[in-house]
Structure 1
């Protein structure tokens, strides 16, 4: 193992130790209409990942106020770090959702974030997904 690989392995272990939240990353199903019953029947959500993560507010997020659906909301940016070796069958995309399900900081439980982008790197210590809180 090269020095670089050994350093990356140590960094990835340290990054994993900082992952104190548990999240659920998922994609909502399409809206549907059941013609036989006359009711809306949205498809089930597709879970892309459930497990440990580090959820951290962006240091450059200032909480931008925007109007959405005739109401003002504040957008706050977060970085969600997953274990570097996380494997998913489908990559998350813009608009997918992240729910914080457990955290040592009770104020974070039930935080809902919308995925805005993601970052990949062979020398990263974690897989980072960028998201925003739209509350």
Structure 2
């Protein structure tokens, strides 16, 4: 049995665990452009890097961060997001500062969340691509 056949089987099994869906977007480059007709700035468009199945798992319990007594508590949550290892995820790799946007899954709280990518794990013998993402919340408002 070859390593390639073992990896193919492992990748297929890992993808079966991916019950959520997500999109990974790359922020547009360049400065916002002022539109004199609307009087507003337009941010450069994001680029779609990936869309498809994914799996989200917490990496640790929430970490509280102190603020002044007048501020509400700030809580940071960290997660691992796994996407399938495919040739397309190899040719268009995910970068730090890309944003994972959760589009569906069993955990309704995640749907619509924008999770900035803080770290990407690379390996030629992985069964999936692992991304570390985070959110911060204060008083029920999510920052990410």
* Structure 1, unpaired ranges of 5+: none
Normalising by the residue count of structure 1, what TM-score does the alignment of the two structures yield? Answer: 0.82
Asked if structure 2 preserves the Cα contact closer than 8 Å seen for 1:57 and 1:78, the reply is yes
For structure 2, list consecutive stretches of 5 or more residues without a partner in the other structure: 138-144
Residue deviations 1:14-66 (CA, integer Å, cap 9, x gap)? 001011111011122244132644431111111111111111111xx132233
Deviation of 1:90 (Å): 4.3
Q: Could you give the per-residue CA deviations for residues 86-132 of structure 1, whole angstroms, max 9, x where no partner exists?
A: 52564332222111101022232123211001011111110111111
Query: Is 1:113 paired with 2:115?
Result: yes
CA distance in 1, matches of 2:52, 2:44: 23
Distance change (3 Å), C-alpha of 1:96 and 1:134: farther
2:27 is matched with which residue?
Answer: 28
Q: How many residues align?
A: 131
